[in-house]
């Protein structure tokens, strides 16, 4: 059974400050229509520009992931995106009245709690997963970061961090599936080493920093001057720091022994959400950061395009679901207009794959470019429609008593000619659930490793007279 897309049942609101700007910000996450994914809306700017949560719009990964589009920016997006993705939301509009997402407690927990309270609403569209078909490797030698993705039936993430620090050392974290996110990952807070913190303060950043929204790790002794500067930054009395040595600032208790590694895992989920789909793969990351995460999201997005153009892989010698005799029992068409030889695979609420052997004996070759026989594009579309008929008729008890009829075709493209001797693989995918006898499908015709044609078809099912 295909999973459906989900959005929020109602809007949720947050008020806080930006980690780096220190400015107050109000954020409202609203329900969004199917196939919308995640988008930010700067309601404080003229025209309320939209910024898509898309890795193509990442312009900075310094201490967070920042996006820029339509003349607008939004910073530190990773925690709210991780919360939405981790809670299996597909579509949301995130309105903000400033350039930065509120940092809150430095984790995704408060976002997750609000999403859980608001509840989710199923939508009339099938969730499309990116299912990895081969291993993908990424390496950034300068950052000593490595990421490997391998095929898996779940979204699984394994992280190793190593900061060469006597305090943190080497840590590992693992999420076996996305359903663990809420309990095991969402509450893990961002962390920073004191040496990095002092650099950020000097650069005029973390103006919204506070001991309550980050774990500050001290792996070197503090001088008196450093204590005073740090206390001033956090607007706390110096007495708070008088006993501080190597350890965690303000003696904050960790929520997990490996909370820093788990937060890195949280960041990966938020950053990889920018590739635009839910993922089924095992991601293994060593020393990851926002830069490597976003660069790997680009690798994944490119792989989506690559896999989309690949033909389905099937053993054509295997017994089909429907042979030519079965096809004739179900479809009303006959030679020369029966354009499906067999049905190879059928998932009732998702897709169907059929096959057509193209021979020189086809009637249309006698008049269509007879000196250089080419299958007419309209016949390829007709073959798609007949294949899609099996997907539609799978929803009735006795398909022999029903027929499907074309209502509309859209966005048709012909990319590769089909000639005698070719075998066409025809894949029809439901773009939305069948309602009132109407089926909206995406059709793709493959010849070898090339797409011959593609388009969207709308068909109606009706009982035979």
DSSP 272-305: HGGGSSEEEEEEEEES--HHHHHHHHHHHHHHHH
Q: Would residue 303 be called left, alpha or beta, if left means φ above 0 and alpha means ψ between -120 and 50 degrees?
A: alpha
CB 211 within 8 A of CB 26: no
Q: Compute the half-sphere exposure of residue 9: CA atoms within 13 Å on the CB side of its CA.
A: 8
Instruction: Tell me the backbone φ, ψ of residue 431, rounded to 5 degrees.
Output: -90, -20
Look up 368 and say whether it is catalytic. yes
CB 105 within 8 A of CB 123: no
CB 129 within 8 A of CB 121: no
- 3 state DSSP class of 261: helix
- What kind and span of H or E run contains 194? helix 194-202
Max CA separation in the chain (angstroms)? 94
The edge-to-edge listing of strands for the beta sheet with 438-447 is 342-347, 351-357, 423-430, 438-447, 450-463, 402-414
Select which of 20, 79, 290, 440 is catalytic: 290
Select which of 36, 333, 368, 395 is catalytic: 368
Q: Compute the half-sphere exposure of residue 18: CA atoms within 13 Å on the CB side of its CA.
A: 22
Query: How far is it, in rounded angstroms, from Cα 362 to Cα 93?
Result: 52
Residue 156 pairs in a beta bridge with 282
**Helix/strand/coil (H/E/C) assignment for every residue in 100-146:** ECECCCCCCHHHHHHHHHHCEEEEEEECCEEECCCCEEEEECCCCEE
Of 47, 31, 181, nearest to 39 (Cα)?
Answer: 31
**Helix/strand/coil (H/E/C) assignment for every residue in 392-406:** HHCCCCCHHHEEEEE
Query: How far is it, in rounded angstroms, from Cα 228 to Cα 175?
Result: 40
End-to-end CA distance of the chain: 32
Report CA-CA distances (Å) from 298 to 54, 56, 256, 341.
9, 8, 31, 39
DSSP 70: T
- Show which residues are catalytic: 290, 368
């Amino acid at each position: 059974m295909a999973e459906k897309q989900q959005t929020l049942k109602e809007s949720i609101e947050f008020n806080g400050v930006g980690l780096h700007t220190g400015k107050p910000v109000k954020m409202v996450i609203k329900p969004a229509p199917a196939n919308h994914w995640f988008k930010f809306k700067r309601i404080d700017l003229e025209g309320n520009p939209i910024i898509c949560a898309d890795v193509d719009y990442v312009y900075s990964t310094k201490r967070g992931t920042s996006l820029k589009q339509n003349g607008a920016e939004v910073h530190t997006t990773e925690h709210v995106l991780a919360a939405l993705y981790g809670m299996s939301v597909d579509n949301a509009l995130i309105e903000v009245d400033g350039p930065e997402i509120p940092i809150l407690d430095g984790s995704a927990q408060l976002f997750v709690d609000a999403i859980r309270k608001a509840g989710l609403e199923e939508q009339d569209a099938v969730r499309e997963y990116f299912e990895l078909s081969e291993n993908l490797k990424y390496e950034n030698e300068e950052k000593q970061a490595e990421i490997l993705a391998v095929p898996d039936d779940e979204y699984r993430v394994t992280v190793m961090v190593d900061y060469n620090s006597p305090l943190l050392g080497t840590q590992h974290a693992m999420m076996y599936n996305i359903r663990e996110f809420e309990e095991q990952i969402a509450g893990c807070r961002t962390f920073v080493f004191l040496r990095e913190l002092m650099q950020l303060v000097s650069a005029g950043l973390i103006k919204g920093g506070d001991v309550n929204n980050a774990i500050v790790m001290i792996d070197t002794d503090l001088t008196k001057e450093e204590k005073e500067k740090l206390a001033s930054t956090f607007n706390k009395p110096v007495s708070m720091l008088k006993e501080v040595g190597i350890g965690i600032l303000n003696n904050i208790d960790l929520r997990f022994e490996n909370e820093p590694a788990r937060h890195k895992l949280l960041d990966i989920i938020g950053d990889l959400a920018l590739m635009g789909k839910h993922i089924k793969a095992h991601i293994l990351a060593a020393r990851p950061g926002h830069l490597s995460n976003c660069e790997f999201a680009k690798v994944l997005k490119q792989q989506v395009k690559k896999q989309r153009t690949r033909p389905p892989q099937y053993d054509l010698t295997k017994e089909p679901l429907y042979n030519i005799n079965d096809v004739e029992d179900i479809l009303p068409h006959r030679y020369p207009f029966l354009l499906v030889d067999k049905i190879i695979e059928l998932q009732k609420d998702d897709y169907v794959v059929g096959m057509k052997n193209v021979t020189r004996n086809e009637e249309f070759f006698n008049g269509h470019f007879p000196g250089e026989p080419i299958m007419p594009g309209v016949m390829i579309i007709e073959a798609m429609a007949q294949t899609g008929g099996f997907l539609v008729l799978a929803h009735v008890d006795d398909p022999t008593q029903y027929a499907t009829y074309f209502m509309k075709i859209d966005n048709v493209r012909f990319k590769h000619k089909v000639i005698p001797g070719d075998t066409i693989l025809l894949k029809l995918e439901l773009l939305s659930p069948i309602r009132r006898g109407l089926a909206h499908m995406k059709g793709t015709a493959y010849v070898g490793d090339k797409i011959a044609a593609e388009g969207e078809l709308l068909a109606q099912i009706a009982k035979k007279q």
